[in-house]
Structures are given as C-alpha cells and as structure tokens.
A and B are shown apart, each in its own frame.
Chain A
Amino acid sequence: MSDTATENGAWRLLCTVNGQPVDLQVPAHETLLYSLRERLGLTGTKGSCLEGECGSCTVIVDGEAANSCLLLSPQVQGCSVETIEGLAEGKKLHILQDKFLASGAAQCGYCTPGLIVAAKVLLERNPKPTDDEFFEGMEGNICRCTGYKSICEAVRAAAVEWKRN
C-alpha cells in the first residue's frame, strides 16, 4: 500500500517527536527542519548551512543521527524523531547538557543542540568510544566559537558517567 500526496502537494505526516505522536499536514517538499521549527515550534534545532555541512540541524531518526535540513518531512513517516527538546526531563538536565555547562562548551550556543544530539547518538551506541570513534561520531558538527576542546572535554566527561538506558 503506497502513500501518496493529495493533489495540492500536502502530506499527512504521522510520526513521533520526542515521544509524542505527531499528526500534521505539511507541504510534501518541506524539510523536517522547517516542520519542526515553524510548525511544531521546536526551535531548538537550528538551520545554518542548509547543506549538511555543519550539523546544526542534527536530529535523531530511529536512533540514528540525521541532518534535518536535508530530510523532506515525509521521509520520516512512521519514524521516531528526537530533538534537543527531548533530552531534559523537566528541570533535570541530561548528563550531556550538564557536562556541556560544566566545561563551558556552549559559547554562542548555536551549534550546541546539534552537537549534544550527535554526542547522544554516539554515546548511546558506544559509551566508551576510542578517539577515532569519537571523531567519526562528531566530525559532522562544526563549531565556530570553541575550537572543540571544551566540547571534547564535555563529551568525555559524560562518557565516563554514562549509564545505558
């Protein structure tokens, strides 16, 4: 059974975002980044290069990192999407968020959501990454402010205390 769009180019997007079901009419050609930010108001995920070169738009789709600026929303039909907004539990910060704060790894903060999400995927798969595995997991994210040192420190500190869920 194939899903097709209606004549006016709209798509009924059915998926979960941060554990919540989403049922939303979107233009079929709309990027996931746009839908998350401008329709669901989840402005934590950022757009910057809009070509998959900087990772500011990183989200998690079915457990894997993805650039939301390069995904058309229909492509996540039936998928589970996680964004930065899904990490903290109320006021309780996720360990990565806490370590980023402790290390001063958020300077201007614009790359931070994408970085934290990418780090989350990395550590969930592999809580004790080698240096190579660390770079493989993080190399898709650019930071213009920090020079990466404080970010590495934060992710390593989180890895030390990581508990598998």
Chain B
Amino acid sequence: MSDSISTFSLLHSQFASIEVDAPSKALIDPSRTPYGESTRGPVGSNARRIDGVEKVTGTALYGADLFFDRADLFAQVVRSEIAHGRLVGINSEKSLKVPGVVAIYTAKDAPGTNRQGLIHRDHPVLVEDRILYRGDAVAIVVAETEQAAQQGRDAVEVDYEKLPVIATMDDALAPNAPKLHLDGNIMGGKRIRKGDADAALDASDLIVSETFVTQTVDHAFLDIEAGIALWDGHHLTIHVSGQWAHEERRLIALALGLPIESVRVICPATGGAFGGREDLSIQVYLGMVALRHSNKTIAMRYSREESMRARHKRHSLRIHYTVGAMEDGTITAAKITVYSEEGAYASTGPAVLRKAASHATGPYRVPNVHVDVYGVYTNNNPTGAMRGFGACQMAIAYEGMMDRLARQLSMDRRELREKNLICSGEAVTTGQIIPLATGVECLDAAWQQFERGAGKEKPLAAHQRRGVGMSVICFGLGYGDGFPDASRATVKFAPSGRLEVYTGGVEYGQGLITIMAQIAAEELGLTTNEVDVIWADTHRTSESGSSSATRQTYFTGNAVKIAASELREQVLDAAGRLIQVHQHEVDLVGGFVVGRFDPQIKRPLREIVAAAAERGFDLTGQGIFKPRTVCEDFDTGQSPRSFITYLFGAHIAQVVVDIETGEVRVERFIACHDVGKAINPQSVEGQIVGGATQGIGMALMEEVVMKEGRMLNANFTDYILPTFRDVPEIETVTLENDDPGGPFGARGIGEPPLIAATPAVLNAIGNAIGVMPHTTPCTPQRVWELMNPELALVSSGVRMLGLPDHARMAR
C-alpha cells in the first residue's frame, strides 16, 4: 500500500494540484473493519460447531455417559422428607443390610467445612441440624450397583423434629414467623434512589399501579446432573458439569477440607445449564465418597424428580409498581417495591436482587426512581441463577406498565414507548450513561419485520380473539456492580501444528467454544477446522469466569482475541526473523504467511511455526480481559458504570386466545436484538430463538407448584415445557451496531431473548382479551380467571404460587 502512495504522489507532482479531502478508496482495505480488524476469516460466518459431529452421532460424553466401564461404586443421596425442622437421628441399620450397600455417610463424616453457597456459605452440604427445605441432603449411601444404592437410600430411616413450614413470603413476613436464618427472614435488600419519586408522582397528571407476580421456574435442562469422581491419594478429579469450573474447584476444596490445588474439575459435555448449574450439585457428595474409597471411581446421577427437587430455582417476584406520567405520555417517576422469594438459602440471591433493582425501569427515561427490593426466605427451594437473573421478572413489570399507561392515556403503545425510550447518551435506572442505546431502532426493526409478514392471518372462529403485543428491554452484561469479573485465555500452537485455545469457560450448547475458535482462527488466518478448544479443565485451562451473565462472548471473546493477537504478533515476529522481512509487511492468510506487498513471499504457517519452535521462540499468547466496573452506591443504587455494556432488544408477539377456554397459542413471533457483531450468526439466531422459546414457556406454561414446602410437579408430566407445537417459526432480526469494547464489536446474546419474550406474550394476551395479565404463567385457567373474575375461586388446599390474592399481600 505504501508503494502505491509514493507512486501516486510522484506521478501527480508533474500535474495540477489535486484535492485530497476524500481518502482514496484504494487505501481502504475492505477485509478490515473500521477498527482495523480482519474480517476475511471465520468471524461473521456460520462456522459449524466444532463439537457438532460428536453431538449428532451420539458420541459426545455427558456426565452419565462416563459411567460405562468406569464406575466402581454408586452413590445416592437421602433427602429430607420435611421442609422445616431439625434432624434428630439417622438409623442406617436396614440400609446397611441391603445387599451391595457398602457405606453410609452423614455430616459427621464431612471432612471440611461442609458448606456451600456461591455468595454466602450458608448451605450445609449434609444436614447437621437445621433443615430448611425438602431438598436438604441428610446422608449419602454408597453401593456396588446403582439399584442397590437406590434401595439403600430408601431404607435409611430418619427422625425429624418438624417445625412450622414457611410456605410463602407472606408466612415469612408475618409478625411471629419462625426465623429461618440468624438475621430473620429477610435476606437483604437493594435500593435505588434517584431524584424524588414521591414529589414527581404528586406532580404527575396520571398515576398507574399494578402488582405483578412471577412464578418459580425450573431450568429443566435435559442432561440430568450426573458425573464421576476419583481420589488417587493425591488428586481428587471430578467430572461433573458446572458453569464455572474454577470456582467450583475452590468451593469443593473448601467444603471437603482439601488443598485447592489437589482438586481438579473437568466438565464433560454439558447438556444445557441456563443458570441451573451455577450452584454446586453433586460434586461434593461425589468427592466425599471418593476420599473414603481411594482409587475407586464413584458415580452418581439424579433422577428427574431429584433434579427438580434438589436444585435451586428462578426467584419468584412480587412487584408493586407505580408509574407517574404526564398527559402527553412523558413518564415522570416510578416507585417500585419488590419482594423476591429467596427460598431456603441465599445462593446467588443477593446478586439477583441487585440486577432486579438496576433494571427496574428497563430502557426507559425515568428521571425519578424509587426502588426497594427485599429478599425473603421461605422453606421452598433456594432460588438462584436462571437466565434473566432478576431482570426478566422486572421486564414483565415495566413492559406491563407501559401497556397499561398507554391504555389510560388512550395513546398508541408503540408511540408511548418510542417517546420514553432512552436515546444514546442518556441514563438507565442506575444513572449509567449508555453511549449507544438502540431500543428505538430494535423496536422499529421488529415492526418492519412484522409488517412484512402481516395480512396472512387465518380467519378466526367465534370463540377466538387475536392480539398483538410488544416489548423493549435492555440488559447489562457481566457481573457488574464492581464485582471482580475477568477472563483469561491462552492460544498456542500444538506440536502437531494445530492451533489450540485454552479457556476455562463452559460450553453447554450456547456455542461458546466455536466462537472462540472463530476468533482465534481469524487472528491467525486459519479456519476453525484447524483449531482445537480445550475448555473447563482446572488443570489445563486458565480461569475465564462463569458461563453466565451473558458475559462469555464479551469477556472470553476479548481474552481469546487478545491472546490470539499476541500469538499473531509472535508468529509475525518469528516469520520476519526467519524470512528476513519486516513483520508489518507480512500477514497471515489462509494458513500461509504472505507478503502484503510482495507476492513472492508465501510460506506455510506450519513451517514457520515449526521452525520457530525449533529455534526456541516462545509462541504462546496469553490474554487477560479485566474491564473496570464501578459499585452501585449503597444508598442511591447509582453508578457511572455498573455494567460494562448494555444490550437492547424488542419483541413482537401475535397470539390467538380461545376466550372460552383461556387457551393461548402464539401465532407469530418476531425477535430483534442488537448484538454488536454476530461472530456466528447461526449461533446468535439459535440463542434468540431458544431464549424466546423459554420466555414463551415462562409466559404460558412453566411453573413449579409447591404446597407446604412440597413440590407437587417434580416431573416432566406436570412441569410443562414448550414443544414443537407451542412456538411458531420465530422470526429473528439481528442488528449489528458495533460495541467499541467488544471483540470485533460483539456484545453477547444469551439472556435478552428470554427477557423480552415473556412480556411481549403477556401484552399480546392483554390486547386480545382486553384485560391485562399480571401473574405468570398465563395458563388457560389464569386467562379464563382474568376474563371471569367473579367465577374464579381459590381453594385454600393448594396454594399455587402467584394466584392473585391482593388482600393478603404484604406491601
């Protein structure tokens, strides 16, 4: 390129002067982004999943697949039969007599702290005294066969002292309620104080209030918790799927009283997570047994029932939401009180409260905000991480309020939103300024897509009504709030010449390892076929943080990019030295080192790498990505940068409601998301469609039903997941407004599609039947109750979470 400039100016010095305002197009390399990044490789392409072949041939090894030919002993956990009380005694006599049963362990056999919990270590691995939910583990039975372990488990006799069950948040908040934890039944809170909401409400033309209740949701990943462990006298190796291998390793080591460096966690192929593998599941049970049976591979798996009964769930939120607005539709204030059901233990509850608070007004301009979020303990399952993490429940509320406001103002719902959505340079709930806010753009793009396909609707029967609803959301990715959040990766060449990427991140179907391969391959001028990704093995991979919080594309993507570009520099430096050329005059293209100006220079990359290795060059790129976020102020909840970046999205749902039975069918669905850059557009679409489907499930059919601390639907017959027939072919629109801090401009995609979907469906139902839903899921019965409030009766026998009973609700 420099050649052409010098020739150009030489030539033209002989002629008349030239205007040089506009740079010559010849000087712009079309294969690079405006930031100078290469885009001629796999980034931006639908590269096939690098673990795809194993998955379609059934050869990928998930936790339970490791049993065959390896398992020596099997373990099963005895769970509490009561939801609240004390463990009085355990009688193992009958159990030990079951043929094949080898041992039974209880808390007294626990070697370390016997504690788990991602934020507070408040959860005993094996019950010592207090029992706080019907999933607390009381004992572990070990046997030579799985069936013997199950029979041994059923033969253990446990004596309990029952205490009154705190079945609901109202029970927990009642004046003389038994205290579930030292500080009582409130786990803590989070607040936002911005401007003066009370004064602004007083000055508003209009005030609208509603109480929303969102349900307890189960992750229901298909790959039930299963895995193996082995203690060889020096190392405890655990093969169990999680979401943060390095953190799991630390927690396991502490719980078991082992030096951290002697524990190795390896994630097998993982079938879904959605936040459900953030807490420990079977790892410590396996470890405890392994330590007692050296050199024996211990195997354990849950049944579906145990998986549902034991695991944490999504927080159920009760949201009292008041919005003030002027007659012209300008929103003035929001005052919000949230009760979040924490269940028996804290899990990631404190972080969920935080995220709910910081997303309480979503993508809207609300100058005066007053939020209080309280966590309330009960004797139900601990509630913790699940895709959306508090922001999804809040979106149900703020998007529900937008439709209600529009109705009261007799204003078009879209117009009201566009009027109040923040623009670039404006602030969200926490006061953080968003440099690029594309809520309006997403909403407009979604409507454009909607209009393209409109007019093809089937005629309706007399008992059917059609409705359309929309939602706009925003979401801060990463842990945020100053919580340490970093990702590290290593990229290097194996002796075979293949490129290797090392990351601690967990692949559970989102396509993580493929996009990391794409990023690394892009930097090194290779294809993903030439890349291997080694992931989630604490002995081999560096810590990349959890696969959660929609953070991996941004954090680990950046770490891999940094590492790969470091390696690229090293390779180019080596090439320069080996070929005797300036390193900036060569490039890596298609597996070759090529001259950028001299076409004669072309050497296979492998050759250069091999020669460099032989000469002792260091060819290892390390990347660390550790951006700074700022804690939210304790009193005001404000922060100049709580989250590293924000994602925007808008959905439109078209539903048909049978107004006699309450059945709802989603007829059409459009999902628009601004992802910055789609590293793998097919994977982005997969996440959008999959996340929206989970959101539709949350809107219409999924709920965990508890009665006095007992789960009534711990199975797939009665925990209803969306099937082929429950979702239309979801139409996706992907916007790519470059994020200056993301790898190749990418942000992420994991959670927003779920967050935006549920409110769009609810708003569509409201549009169809003329009554706004306030409680999820909108099962046929609930929709019927909305239309027939005088006929709805709530029997006291079954307290279905979320059935509206406004009179009883604490405010």
Out of A41, A84, A152, name the residue touching B57 (CB < 8 Å).
A84
Out of B55, B303, B722, name the residue touching A50 (CB < 8 Å).
B303
With A43-B58, A84-B57, A110-B62 as contacts: A146 and B689 at CB distance below 8 Å: yes
Q: Which residues of B contact A24 (CB under 8 A)?
A: none
Question: Which residue of chain A lies nearest to B220 when distances are taken between CB atoms in the complex?
Answer: A144
Instruction: Kindly state the separation between the CA atoms of A83 and B58 in the bound complex, as whole angstroms.
Output: 9
Question: Which residue of chain A lies nearest to B51 when distances are taken between CB atoms in the complex?
Answer: A109
Q: Which residues of B contact A135 (CB under 8 A)?
A: 724-725
Q: Which residues of B contact A116 (CB under 8 A)?
A: 56
Out of A41, A142, A150, name the residue touching B689 (CB < 8 Å).
A150
Within 8 A of A (CB), among B194-245: 220-224
Q: A50-B303, A106-B52, A146-B686 known; 18 other A-B pairs, CB under 8 Å? A: A37-B64, A38-B67, A43-B68, A46-B64, A48-B222, A48-B304, A53-B717, A85-B58, A103-B682, A108-B221, A109-B509, A110-B222, A139-B725, A142-B723, A146-B690, A147-B694, A148-B689, A150-B682
Does A49 lie within 8 Å of B716, measured CB to CB? yes
Question: Which residue of chain A lies nearest to B221 when distances are taken between CB atoms in the complex?
Answer: A144
Q: List 18 A-B contacts (CB under 8 A).
A: A43-B64, A43-B68, A46-B62, A50-B304, A51-B717, A54-B721, A85-B59, A93-B53, A93-B57, A96-B56, A108-B270, A109-B269, A111-B222, A142-B222, A144-B274, A147-B692, A148-B693, A148-B727
Question: Which residue of chain B lies nearest to A56 when distances are taken between CB atoms in the complex?
Answer: B222
A112 proximal to B (CB < 8 A): yes
Min Cβ gap A64→B in Å is 19
Q: Which residues of A contact B64 (CB under 8 A)?
A: 37, 43, 46-47
Q: Which residues of A contact B68 (CB under 8 A)?
A: 37-38, 41, 43
Question: Which residue of chain A lies nearest to B219 when distances are taken between CB atoms in the complex?
Answer: A144
Out of A41, A48, A112, name the residue touching B224 (CB < 8 Å).
A48
Instruction: Kindly state the separation between the CA atoms of A157 and B222 in the bound complex, as whole angstroms.
Output: 26
Chain A positions 110 through 153: 1 when the CB is less than 8 Å from some CB of chain B, otherwise 0: 11110010000000000000000001001101111111111010
Q: Which residues of A contact B725 (CB under 8 A)?
A: 135, 139
Does A104 lie within 8 Å of B683, measured CB to CB? yes
Out of B59, B271, B724, name the residue touching A108 (CB < 8 Å).
B271
Does B511 lie within 8 Å of A138, measured CB to CB? no
B102 proximal to A (CB < 8 A): no
Q: Which residues of A contact B52 (CB under 8 A)?
A: 100-101, 106
Chain B positions 28 through 53: 1 when the CB is less than 8 Å from some CB of chain A, otherwise 0: 00000000000000000010110111
Taking Cβ atoms with an 8 Å cutoff, the residues of B that contact A are: 46, 48-49, 51-62, 64-65, 67-69, 220-224, 269-272, 274, 303-304, 508-511, 682-683, 685-686, 689-694, 715-717, 721-725, 727, 729-730
Chain B interface helix/strand/loop/mixed: loop
A38, A41, A102, most chain B CB atoms within 10 A: A38
A43, A83, A110, A150, most chain B CB atoms within 10 A: A110
Question: Which residue of chain B lies nearest to A53 when distances are taken between CB atoms in the complex?
Answer: B716
Instruction: Kindly state the separation between the CA atoms of A110 and B222 in the bound complex, as whole angstroms.
Output: 7
Instruction: Kindly state the separation between the CA atoms of A108 and B715 in the bound complex, as whole angstroms.
Output: 21
Does B49 lie within 8 Å of A101, measured CB to CB? yes
A75 proximal to B (CB < 8 A): no
Does B510 lie within 8 Å of A107, measured CB to CB? yes
Does B56 lie within 8 Å of A93, measured CB to CB? yes
Min Cβ gap B285→A in Å is 20
Instruction: Kindly state the separation between the CA atoms of A38 and B55 in the bound complex, as whole angstroms.
Output: 19
Out of A47, A85, A109, A150, name the residue touching B686 (CB < 8 Å).
A150
Out of A48, A141, A143, A147, name the residue touching B223 (CB < 8 Å).
A48
Does B62 lie within 8 Å of A51, measured CB to CB? no
Q: Which residues of A contact B69 (CB under 8 A)?
A: 41
A5 proximal to B (CB < 8 A): no
Question: Which residue of chain A lies nearest to B689 when distances are taken between CB atoms in the complex?
Answer: A147
Question: Which residue of chain A lies nearest to B224 when distances are taken between CB atoms in the complex?
Answer: A48
